[in-house]
Copies of this chain bind each other. A is one copy, B any other.
């Protein structure tokens, strides 16, 4: 039984004059930050600012590589070869790492973004390319991936520590995948229900699907969202509620 959990959030997704997400406020509530690396979002200015912000708040820093597509925010799949995925991910990890190194703060993990995250969950060869890039850069980095996905599996196979990621505000289907956003019932709207879902995952090791099936699930880290009107309130309330259940919120 697990009574400790990490709260991770995508961060540093502003770009140039464009602001995105409530990074300053959220950084006070999360335990690990996935910082964009300039491919799907972010730029050298945003990256340094966000690394500094995470450091100040004692938040564990991760690289958040995505498809090279600023106009699509990394949400559009691009047909890259596995070799290209390996190289684009390695590039991005290195770029963010430079800011960690200059700020004398360790890099803690890597979490793929958007379409790359989704493809890596379902395609073993893509999962492998990402895991290999992480392992080749630094064997001590933790690879974050959707609980039960190929990304987690391939990370383990390469000897990496992995973090199985679950969602507080999304429902699960019979096969353990997330209900697609555009399907009715995909989102969990109340903090009460979100807390109940996370608590069940942690203390009982399972989640109940939309149709009532009980599914085993590993929950090391909970993804919380950084944009949207109520993002900050949701995270704050989720955190408070989990702590009230004597669940410890900390990074791995």
Binding site for B on A (CB under 8 A): 15-20, 38, 41, 43-45, 47-48, 68-73, 75-80, 83-84, 87-88, 90-99, 101-102, 115, 133, 136-138
Task: Tell me which residues across on chain B come within 8 A of A19, comparing CB atoms.
Answer: 18
Q: Is the CB of A102 within 8 A of B133?
A: yes
Question: Assuming the A-B contacts A18-B15, A18-B20, are A38 and B91 also in contact, with contact meaning beta carbons closer than 8 angstroms in the complex?
Answer: yes
Q: Is the CB of B90 within 8 A of A99?
A: yes
Question: Assuming the A-B contacts A94-B97, A137-B102, are A72 and B76 also in contact, with contact meaning beta carbons closer than 8 angstroms in the complex?
Answer: no
Q: Which of B18, B47, B69, B88 contacts A91 (CB 8 A)?
A: B47
Q: Is the CB of A77 within 8 A of B76?
A: no
In the A-B complex, the 10 residue pairs with the smallest Cβ-Cβ separation, listed nearest first, are A94-B98, A18-B18, A44-B87, A17-B73, A102-B136, A44-B91, A77-B79, A95-B95, A16-B71, A94-B94
